[in-house]
Structure 1
């Protein structure tokens, strides 16, 4: 029997502690999903990347800290956000991170590597992918090829193909911008494929303030990409959340977002909802409580 998901509530893990699922990245591993989240014990600066696993998105088991504060890029005075992991074809795991200074002037992607999804990961260093600014990130993988989704405040939202070792960007596949503000793109990107079509989700650039997140589709990663459109009711601010990841599950999808509390990031609730994709349309609907697997996509 699957557990009950209560969107907008703080998630409690198997230890009875607040699960640090902020800025989450998710991957399927065997019969469970592993998740990597920002530990906000210190607020906005870095404490650790926490790792959890679940089989129903309702009950979460703490798997340990995948990466803990150290020196340099991952020092306790640095910003380390949006942990996203990919498993390479050789079986090694690569953790990609938004690395920054507290004034957000560094704008880099960090890379760490481990033999197991839960780590511990060994931090290797950071880059500005292909020389571009990189803040919020996402990842995508298809046929053994890894992709980095990278928000570049100066040029838009990039889809970069990663090198074979996943430890750096190799080439830019596409760059997307907003229609109403064509000088910028969307942040907190996540990408899935459904029935031969790619679906990209992102959030407007409004800091901690929440907004109506957007969605675009394309028949190929190179495009052509559709115009951006909302996928939650207009004015709902995506049910007061910022998208972090969209996860394929069975015939449907699960949306996981953050309901940020700037003055208490540690207790920021997680919003987990069913997401329906039909053709070129994505639809997110509110549920006070639900069980994963009970709704079709």
Structure 2
């Protein structure tokens, strides 16, 4: 088995070599396994394909379980044909034994947010949509949400603008408004507790672009909540990500490390090119930070991994549609191919294709060279490959990551440039 390594900012692949497609995600440890739950996106915009569940023994190798809550066919359903879902979070209720899913539902213009609730007997089962998540017998219309569970089973939901609600005993409704309007203008809320201190993380509203996420701290869930500023170095736009979840990782020495999960969106190719940024958090009292970016790290020790491997010379710096590089590479044992390059505000999409020695395609999909802040490193890391000879191609597409804010402002790529600086092959012996 390949060494378990978490790769940041590149698409992941499951054990069938399909892109892991779960966004607005959370990771839960349950029954001796890790479970990744998030929204399934289409690759032609922001289409909603249901909420997906993946499982893993080591946080690095993932198996697709199923769509646990699919789009509904009924026009009146909160997840009906004219609506979408996002921000799914799941908790196990200790009183009922049920797994409870809360998510945002909305129309396709994002102007009618309603929180929904669904339940299942197993974490990876088919969830039954119960309807709207209510407070005082009225549906909550709050937008993005996050969930948090205390050690005693008491659970809370946090929403945009910083509203926090205590959940009912069965988690299917809100019992009490605990905090009102902590973070005006916020999005993508996360609520957690680390070493007795409560933290609430938020992003700003910049459509699919990342921004400088920020946080609040409090000695108890009801407050007082104190604004603490950003938690990643200024100018990194939270390492080009949007906060989604914080989970406690138990490492080999017995300690627990809080780990940040953030989305790196890639509109319109959310299914193939969007990725996750997962990094350990540094916490001291009310101070929380992600001081540095690790392209790869070992979840067993929460330590950075340096990737060496065999470097194959390859150069491409172009925005000319169809221009490409082609080169052979080989894998000894098990390994992966890595495309090195640069991302920036001028970056666009390229298509990567891997074929085996018989010319049979192993993989073909778009990936991105766009980022609002410049980065040099791995642009793409392929799925696990067996021993053999392969052919790699990278071809410039006539497309950039272009989208608009709600006020109509154009955001995203300023060009369609693809910048490749080299290719590496990684075998198990190349991790150090």
The TM-score with structure 2 as length reference comes to 0.64
Equivalent in the alignment of 1:45: 47
SS at match of 2:103: strand
SS at match of 1:51: strand
Q: Distance in 2 between matches of 1:170 and 1:128?
A: 9
1:264 matched to 2:276: no
1:148 matched to 2:149: no
How far does residue 133 in structure 1 lie from its aligned partner after superposition?
Answer: 2.8
1:177 matched to 2:200: no
Equivalent of 2:102 in 96, 99, 115: 96
Equivalent in the alignment of 1:32: 33
How far does residue 259 in structure 1 lie from its aligned partner after superposition?
Answer: 0.7
1:176 and 1:294, CA in 2 relative to 1: closer, same or farther beyond 3 A? farther
SS at match of 1:239: helix
1:292 matched to 2:280: no
Note the alpha carbon deviations across 1:108-129, whole angstroms, 9 max, x for none: 1001111000120011111464
Equivalent in the alignment of 1:163: 168
- Contact 1:177/1:185, CA 8 A, preserved across alignment: no
Equivalent in the alignment of 1:203: 203
1:231 and 1:105, CA in 2 relative to 1: closer, same or farther beyond 3 A? same
Q: Distance in 2 between matches of 1:22 and 1:150?
A: 17
1:138 matched to 2:146: yes
Q: How many residues align?
A: 287
Q: Which has the higher strand share?
A: 2
Q: Distance in 2 between matches of 1:171 and 1:96?
A: 16
How far does residue 264 in structure 1 lie from its aligned partner after superposition?
Answer: 1.1
For the pair shown, which has the larger CA radius of gyration, 1 or 2?
2
- Contact 2:22/2:51, CA 8 A, preserved across alignment: no
SS at match of 2:206: coil
How far does residue 45 in structure 1 lie from its aligned partner after superposition?
Answer: 3.1
How far does residue 226 in structure 1 lie from its aligned partner after superposition?
Answer: 1.2
How far does residue 279 in structure 1 lie from its aligned partner after superposition?
Answer: 1.2
1:252 matched to 2:289: no
How far does residue 157 in structure 1 lie from its aligned partner after superposition?
Answer: 1.4
Equivalent in the alignment of 1:233: 233
How far does residue 237 in structure 1 lie from its aligned partner after superposition?
Answer: 0.5
RMSD: 1.7
Equivalent in the alignment of 2:63: 61
Q: Distance in 1 between matches of 2:216 and 2:3?
A: 32
Equivalent of 1:121 in 123, 127, 137: 127
Equivalent in the alignment of 1:212: 212
How far does residue 185 in structure 1 lie from its aligned partner after superposition?
Answer: 4.0
Equivalent in the alignment of 2:83: 78
